[in-house]
Amino acid sequence: MDEPDPGYAPLRWAVMPTHLADILAAHRAAAADDHRDPDELAARAATLAPARDFAGALRAGGLSCIAEIKRRSPSAGDLDPDLQADVVAKEYGAGGAACLSVLTDAAHFGGSVADLQQARQASGLPVLRKDFTVQEADVVDARLMGADAVLLIVAALDDDHLARFLARAGALGLAALVEVHDARELGRALDAGARLVGVNQRDLRTFTVDHDRACALAAGIPPDVVAVAESGIRHGEDARRLADAGYDAILVGETLVRADDKRAELRALIGHPVAPR
């Protein structure tokens, strides 16, 4: 059985803002009370229909977009408290999104498992479960709820658990978006075997966005790894710069959730020619 208190990077998170530390603490407290056997959960997951090809959808031609569904965030506050996940998912699909990212954290982001399931059914697109993965059972839960990909945040995991979670995701046929914030984390992600890497441009300590961070790290991502730029993508020019740097995809949340015309906003972001890395 997976230990409920995995080895992680406590010093890295110790300097995070209080609300982020609280989010991780809440998830780890829940994990400590979770005594389910990941192998038994995986046996149940093995009976499900195969996951949709999340990573493949991001390399369908030109810069693609993972469009995010969330009602609020600790950094931005309320974005759209009355958001209907299925309605927004259909708009994203009509606008050309390649995949969806759906928050399932209720307490801090206003998300739910139902949001993920409704968005996936309404759109027909591959869906990332966007949440804090702190134990092996969380990886299997993502598959059981119907997700096609799971988020692994390098800053919150040690090397052993990062590798274990990647292996578990692979055994389930689940893509793993491995999120990094700097060159050191990128090296750890690649050493663990990540095939889908997201560079988050938002600073974990200050929540400020460095619009040059993804471009600076792009050359370190091998050509056969799918590269995703995250956070701070405001308009078509931001998207074009990232495509020029060699990113296959962008993950966009706040800009799209706040947009009055989500289809038009998406169309302005996608399709830019992706330069080789």
- Catalytic positions are 68, 70, 130, 179, 200, 230-231
CA dist 204 → 7, 16, 190, 210, 248 (Å): 20, 6, 21, 11, 23
3-state secondary structure 146-215: CCCEEEEEHHHCCHHHHHHHHHHHHHCCCEEEEEECCHHHHHHHHHHCCCEEEEECECCCCCCECCCHHH
Comparing CA positions, the residue from 157, 171, 152 lying closest to residue 39 is 171
- What is the rounded CA–CA span in Å between residue 238 and residue 95? 18
Comparing CA positions, the residue from 203, 110, 116, 191 lying closest to residue 151 is 116
Residue 2, Cβ density class (10 Å: 0-12 exposed, 13-18 middle, ≥19 buried): buried
- Specify the 3-state DSSP secondary structure of 34: coil
